[in-house]
Each structure stands twice: as C-alpha cells, then as structure tokens.
C-alpha cells in the first residue's frame, strides 16, 4: 500500500482518489469525518511548509496521532544511517510520510519499512500526492480535465511536480503546452512516453502565451538543484509572469502554482482574480486525507 510514484497509479485508482477527496471535503464542511486509529510519522529531510503541515493536518482530522521527525535534531547528526533511521521509526508508526533530497529515497524507505510509505517528494523525481492534489484542484475549479488546454510553465526539468502532472493531464485527455527556459525543458523521453501511452497532444515552446490556456500552471526555477547558482539566475530571466500575459488570456483562465513562489509571480499578478494557487493549496488536506484513509484501510 505504499504510494511512491504517480506513474504506478492507473486511471481508475486516480479517479477513486479524486472522488474520495471530494467526499472528504464534504465531510469536513459537515463535521462528519469518520475517525481512525493509528500513528502517522512525518519524516522530512528537507524543508517543507504546505506538504508537511497538510499531511499533519489531514492526519489529525482523521483522528490520527502524529509524530514528527527532524533530521537536524536526530541521530543522523551522530552518523546513524538512513536505513537504521527508517527501521527505527517504522517501530513507532503505522504510516511513514517521507521527503528527502535524493531521488529513489522513498522507494528505499519502503524497502526497509514494514509500514506503508508515502513519498512526499524525493529530489526532482516524484511527488505523487501533489499530482493528485493538482488534478483534484483543476477538476474542482474547471469542472473537468478532459478537453482543457493546460500550460506548464517554468523549470520542467528539475521541478518534481511537472513530469507526473503532464502524465496525469495526458491520461485524462487534456491538451498540454510546455513552456520552459532553454535547457530546462521536459525530458524528451517523458514527452514521447505520454504521447505513445495516452495519445497526448503536447506542444513545446520557449514563449509564454496564455491566449488559448484554460489553466496556466507555473513553477519556480529550482535553484537548489543547480550546481551553479548563476545558471539558475540566468534561467529565471524572461519567466516572470507579467500582468500583460493575464490581460491576453482567455476568459476564465486560472493560474496555479505548487508553491513556494518567488519572483516568477509579482505582487500585481498575485492579486489578480486568475491567481488561484491558495485555493489549490487548500485542496491538500482532503486529498491527503483520502490517501491516508485508503492506505490505512488497505492494511486491514
């Protein structure tokens, strides 16, 4: 019952997650959430605000206890191995939620742990709960996914949210337009796989133009993934979302962002009615409630 990669999920399973999240949101509004027994451990080896707190909030709202692990205040500082850390915390919890800067770390944790593992981000690789959140937010705000034109803008090479989101959008019949700085494009093999597997309509460009977009999904340049910081600064040039881009957008377009945002979204754009990423972030609690609930029930 691990959740390591979005690509491990089939369309029917994703649809069940989205429907369960909708039910969770209704239950939260009505104060009728069914309580569960258990302990969730959150193991974050790199900084996080929304993912960590929304997983903790989701756990509490399900009636679960939470134990929080901090690498900076743990025996890792004394030289304890990743394997031993996972095996020890596995003794104390029923579900492990892990974020780590190295690709493959969540899969490795699942190998060591007997309890289910949820990947909350492993380097620039995967962040499956974020992809489910994004699909849920788009469907909630636009009423559907199929037939929409969704623009993915920014660092498509290192941002772990972009590749699985492209797959998810392709799976559900959206048209995808990729706009990125030179050298930070979506890997070619990922684009070809999405086309072959889902018959996806995918276009690549280096120009931002929202005139045909139903959804613009922007991410920051992932400076922490660059060995040379000056290269990151150079890549950011030209990928600030200017007010004029929104003025030229079709009516009803929404602007999303996985957050944290930097200067790619200036204050005047953040104040626009198209900017819906705070509402998008609020979807994290019901979506992650649905994930934890499914995993706990799968253990029985």
Active site residue 288: no
Give the mean model confidence (pLDDT) for residues 275-291: 97
Looking at the structure, tell me whether residues 154 and 249 fall in a common domain: yes
Looking at the structure, tell me whether residues 19 and 96 fall in a common domain: yes
Measured distance CA(246)–CA(272) in Å, rounded: 9
The one catalytic residue in 78, 188, 207, 300 is 78
The one catalytic residue in 50, 60, 142, 261 is 50
Looking at the structure, tell me whether residues 123 and 164 fall in a common domain: no
Measured distance CA(66)–CA(38) in Å, rounded: 9
Active site residue 49: no
The one catalytic residue in 52, 99, 157, 163 is 99
Taking 80 as the threshold, does the pLDDT of residue 282 lie above it? yes
Inter-axis angle of helices 284-299 and 50-61, to 10 degrees? 60
Active site residue 36: no
Taking 90 as the threshold, does the pLDDT of residue 57 lie above it? yes
Taking 60 as the threshold, does the pLDDT of residue 27 lie above it? yes
Question: What is the pLDDT at residue 125?
Answer: 84
Tell me 126's DSSP state: B
Give the mean model confidence (pLDDT) for residues 104-132: 94
> Has residue 151 been placed in a domain?
yes
pLDDT band at 224 (very low <50, low <70, confident <90, very high): low
Alpha helix positions (H), 119-228: 128-142, 162-171, 188-198
The one catalytic residue in 52, 100, 127, 220 is 127
| Contact status, residue 140 vs residue 167, Cβ threshold 8 Å | no
The one catalytic residue in 51, 52, 100, 157 is 51
Number of domains in the chain: 2
Question: CATH no. for residue 28?
Answer: 3.40.50.1370
Active site residue 99: yes
Q: Containing domain of residue 116, as a range?
A: 6-127+284-299
> Has residue 1 been placed in a domain?
no
Question: What's the pLDDT tens digit per position in 133-142?
Answer: 999 999 999 9
Question: What's the pLDDT tens digit per position in 162-177?
Answer: 999 999 999 999 999 9
Distance of CA 271 to the CA centre of its chain: 23
Active site residue 51: yes
């Amino acid at each position: 019952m691990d959740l390591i990669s979005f690509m491990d999920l089939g369309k029917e399973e994703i649809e069940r997650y989205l429907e369960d999240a909708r039910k969770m949101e209704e239950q939260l509004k009505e104060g009728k959430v069914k309580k569960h027994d258990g302990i969730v451990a959150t193991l974050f080896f790199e900084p996080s605000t929304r993912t960590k707190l929304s997983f903790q909030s989701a756990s509490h709202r399900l009636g679960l206890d939470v134990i929080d692990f901090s690498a900076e205040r743990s025996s890792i500082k004394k030289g304890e191995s990743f394997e031993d850390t996972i095996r020890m915390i596995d003794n104390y919890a029923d579900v492990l939620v892990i974020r780590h800067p190295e690709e493959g770390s969540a899969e490795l944790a699942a190998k060591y742990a007997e309890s289910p593992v949820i990947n909350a981000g492993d380097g620039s690789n995967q962040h499956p709960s974020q992809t489910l959140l994004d699909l849920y937010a788009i469907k909630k705000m636009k009423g559907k996914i199929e037939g929409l034109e969704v623009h993915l803008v920014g660092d498509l090479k290192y941002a772990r949210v972009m590749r699985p989101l492209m797959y998810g959008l392709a799976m559900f019949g959206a048209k995808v337009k990729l706009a990125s700085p030179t050298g930070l494009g979506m890997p070619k093999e990922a684009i070809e796989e999405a086309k072959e597997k889902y018959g996806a309509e995918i276009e690549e460009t280096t120009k931002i133009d929202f005139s045909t977009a139903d959804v613009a999904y922007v991410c920051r340049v992932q400076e922490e993934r660059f060995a040379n910081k000056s290269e990151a600064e150079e890549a950011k040039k030209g990928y600030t979302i200017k007010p004029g881009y929104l003025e030229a957008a079709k009516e009803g377009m929404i602007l999303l962002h996985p957050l944290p945002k930097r200067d790619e979204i200036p204050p005047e754009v953040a104040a626009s009615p198209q900017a819906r990423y705070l509402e998008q972030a609020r979807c994290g609690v019901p979506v992650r409630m649905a994930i934890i609930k499914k995993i706990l029930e799968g253990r029985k």
